Amino acid sequence: LDDLLAEGVQDRFVLLRADFNVPLDGYSITDDGRIRAALPTITRLVGGGAKVLVMAHLGRIKDPEPLGRDKRSSLSPVAGKLGQLLDQRVSLAEDVVGQSARDVAASLTAGGVALLANVRCEPRETGSASERDALATELAELVPGGAFVSDGFGVVHREQASVYEIARKLPAYGGDLVARETEVLRRLTGDPARPYVVILGGSKVSDKLAVLTNLLPRVDTLLVGGAMCFTFLAAEGNDVGGSKVEADQVDTCRELLAQYPDTLVLPVDVVAASEFSADADTREVQVSDIPEGWMGLDVGPGTVRLFGEKLADAATVFWNGPMGVFEMEPFAAGTRGVAEAVADSPAFSVIGGGDSASAIRAAGLDEERFGHISTGGGASLEFLEGKDLPGIAVLEEGS
């Protein structure tokens, strides 16, 4: 971004990819962390007099509805929040590359900011390579003489038109958020201070296998929580009742437990519930005592203490994925307890991802108590797996 600003952006178009995929309750944004994280780059561009046209997505759209009809996917709450944070009007186009997008772009003045419609309403965004290429050409045509700035760290692992192909159509630069995120994550893939403790949660062990197998040889301790712990607990021989188990992953989990018996640490107790509901009957039980038909929906207090002990003398911590169904209050204590233990730990801590980051903010913990709160869930995991992230690799191509 420094290079672009040094060239000068006064009255020049900048097409910016941001990650504004924020959690919503109806139309209200429940965590605006990702929007705030984009402000440094946007403010610098606005300060330089650029005409900033932002591309962003919201949710996953299976069958893009005719534009404008699917209100759930509208970025209008985002445009409102961004305008409020920037203290200026942010207009929102009704389409991605159609007449409305052209009109909105043409009406931008120096220092102005506008948003295109949810880029995933345009099927070519996630289409074949040639479809994505064609869409990127049309996106570039919206901003004659313009530059592309990639600042949606949360989407840099996606080979999509507004992330990847567009960087080949315009002079491309990394934004401040992408620069900061990659710098911090490189500290973890390089030579992190030890002990290095990783906490993984979330629902599916199958989603985390690549990162598990990549990290296990390189970390000192790997704490497992979230629904994915039940597949490990089942592999250890526990009867986990009606808890979520991925039957086809049990053997793999058993092999990992045998190979890394000292590194992998599983919960010792859980909050079991009679059903998947905030009104369910609940009990704190040892992992071997989950009542028949009941399901574990959070880690228990003994586990929070155990994980806390491991975190107390860590030097580096990476955490991805909630410990339980934290959106429901009866199952939020495990995630909150682990968040507090990470905050208390003297370690350099990196929080990877949407849900864990939201959980920290929902728990009211001061963000300053963490080394870095990443805006990218999948992106930070893929970075730690050592994968090449298309949205970053494509920027390096040009430099």
**Amino acid present at 259:** Q
Interaction with ligand 3PG in 234-253: which residues (CB under 6 A)? Answer: none
Query: 149 or 253: whose CB is closer to ligand 3PG?
Result: 149
Q: How far is the CB of 302 from ligand 3PG (least distance, A)?
A: 31
Binding to ligand 3PG by CB under 6 A, coded x per residue (else -) over 349-378, reads -----x----------------------xx
Determine the Cα–Cα distance for residues 24 and 21; give it in Å rounded to an integer.
Answer: 9
34 is a catalytic site residue: yes
- 57 annotated to bind ligand: yes
DSSP 229-295: HHHHHHHTT---TTS---GGGHHHHHHHHHH-TTTEE--SEEEEESSSSTTS-EEEEEGGGPPTT-E
- 124 annotated to bind ligand: no
- The sheet with strand 264-265 has its strands ordered as 264-265, 221-224, 196-200, 316-320, 348-351, 372-373
Q: Does 60 bind ligand 3PG (CB under 6 A)?
A: yes
Q: How far is the CB of 280 from ligand 3PG (least distance, A)?
A: 28
Pair type for strands 13-17 and 147-150: parallel
Interaction with ligand 3PG in 103-162: which residues (CB under 6 A)? Answer: 154-155, 158
- 141 annotated to bind ligand: no
Interface residue with ligand 3PG among 4, 9, 16, 21 (CB under 6 A) is: 21
354 is a catalytic site residue: yes
| Vertex 341 angle, CA 182 and 205, to 5° | 65
- Active-site residue among 175, 242, 376, 378? 378
- Nearest of 160, 192, 174, 183 to residue 56 by alpha carbon: 160
Q: How far is the CB of 207 from ligand 3PG (least distance, A)?
A: 11
- Nearest of 320, 287, 282, 291 to residue 303 by alpha carbon: 287
378 is a catalytic site residue: yes
Phi/psi at 282 (5° precision): -130, 155
204 is a catalytic site residue: yes
Please list the active-site residues: 34, 204, 354, 378
Annotated binding site for substrate: 19-21, 34, 57-60, 120, 158
Which residues of the chain form contacts with ligand 3PG (CB under 6 A)? 19, 21, 60, 154-155, 158, 354, 377-378
